């Protein structure tokens, strides 16, 4: 194996530590928050700086998550090929990597965005990497509910980057992601329940069974769909968003009902996949409505 190949593989391993697909969705929601924070187009320099800073701190948090859960990941088929689970990257290397990219992210946010965004993003880092990963996840089957706030913060971070403030509208966006997280993650936990049983984590399908989890997915989906009506109710959005949220929510409810009444692992897998598409399209609809509101 030549030197270039070794270096490329090492870069790929560090890139994998940041969980890029999850990070991309979080940063996408943050960028939407940036555009919604102003009636005009936001300052592109701030958008670029905030995107970089939030991305780096999110990646740092996920790297810490991979470090803490390396033994758990090694017991699960879904995560067994992560670099920390395979032992391809050491604990010291991961800590240094997380510290460096997290530190750069904080520096970028403080100097090129504003201190409020830096501190909110750092608090989100602590909430995910420490409170959720180290304390809540191994302690309670409600981990994803209680710890969901850290994962729901990106729109508020984006809003703060442009407005240097986090008003009610930003917290409505946070609430939408907060209520979206349980049905999204529990759908995954249902069809990966054997993996989670091996991991030792107290995930809801393992601790309370399938029926209990299926009912809670339906319950949280109803709450989530109701929550997505708030932007229209407070006149933050118009008819484009309302119709989009209603249609997207109806499809999500259909998936949740099928999980509850006609469960198969395939249905749970399709629900999990749709949940990602759902959140992306919902926030895209907010953006379109913001500029074409009628």
pLDDT of 156 reads 97
pLDDT digits (tens, 9 = 90+) for 116-154: 999 999 999 999 888 888 888 887 888 888 778 888 999
pLDDT band at 87 (very low <50, low <70, confident <90, very high): confident
Burial 249-272 (b: 16+ CB within 10 A, else e): beebbebbebbbeebeeebbebbb
pLDDT digits (tens, 9 = 90+) for 27-68: 999 999 999 999 999 999 999 999 999 999 999 999 999 998
44 or 294, higher pLDDT = 44
All structural domains of the chain with their residue ranges: 1-165, 167-294
pLDDT of 199 reads 80
pLDDT of 4 reads 56
The residue-averaged pLDDT of 171-180 equals 96
pLDDT of 143 reads 80
**Nearest of 291, 224, 294 to residue 255 by alpha carbon:** 224
Min mean pLDDT across 1-10, 200-209, 253-262 is at: 1-10
Q: Please, are residues 203 and 196 in contact by the beta-carbon 8 Å criterion?
A: yes
3.10.20.30, 3.90.870.10, 1.10.15.40, 1.10.357.140: CATH of 1-165: 1.10.357.140
pLDDT digits (tens, 9 = 90+) for 189-200: 999 998 888 888
The residue-averaged pLDDT of 281-286 equals 97
pLDDT of 5 reads 63
Residue 176 pLDDT greater than 70, yes or no? yes
In whole angstroms, what is the distance from residue 260 CA to residue 190 CA?
A: 11
Cα angle 177, 223, 124 (rounded to 5 degrees) comes to: 25
**Nearest of 263, 282, 284, 286 to residue 274 by alpha carbon:** 282
10 or 62, higher pLDDT = 62
In this structure, which topology does domain 167-294 adopt according to CATH?
A: 1.20.120
Do the first three CATH levels of 1-165 and 167-294 match, i.e. the same topology? no
């Amino acid at each position: 194996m030549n030197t270039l190949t070794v270096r490329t593989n090492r870069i790929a391993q560090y890139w994998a530590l940041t969980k890029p697909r999850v990070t991309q969705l979080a940063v996408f929601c943050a960028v939407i928050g940036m555009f919604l924070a102003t009636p005009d187009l936001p300052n592109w320099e701030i958008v670029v700086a905030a995107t970089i800073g939030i991305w780096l701190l999110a990646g740092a948090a996920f790297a810490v998550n991979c470090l803490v859960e390396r033994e758990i990941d090694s017991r699960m088929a879904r995560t067994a090929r992560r670099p920390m689970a395979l032992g391809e990257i050491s604990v010291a290397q991961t800590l240094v990597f997380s510290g460096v990219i997290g530190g750069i992210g904080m520096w970028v946010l403080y100097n090129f965005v504003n201190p409020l965004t830096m501190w909110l993003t750092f608090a989100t880092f602590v909430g995910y990497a420490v409170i959720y990963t180290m304390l809540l996840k191994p302690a309670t089957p409600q981990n994803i509910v209680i710890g969901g706030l850290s994962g729901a913060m990106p729109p508020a971070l984006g809003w703060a980057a442009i407005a240097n403030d986090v008003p009610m509208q930003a917290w409505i966006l946070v609430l939408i992601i907060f209520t979206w997280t349980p049905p999204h993650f529990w759908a995954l936990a249902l069809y990966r329940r054997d993996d989670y049983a091996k991991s030792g984590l107290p995930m809801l399908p393992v601790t309370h069974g399938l029926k209990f989890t299926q009912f809670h997915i339906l319950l949280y989906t109803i709450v989530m769909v109701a929550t997505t009506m708030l932007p229209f109710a407070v006149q933050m959005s118009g008819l484009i968003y309302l119709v989009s949220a209603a249609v997207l929510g109806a499809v999500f409810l259909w998936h949740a009902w099928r999980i509850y009444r006609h469960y198969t692992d395939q249905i749970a897998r399709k629900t999990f996949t749709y949940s990602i598409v759902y959140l992306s399209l919902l926030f895209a609809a907010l953006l379109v409505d913001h500029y074409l509101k009628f």
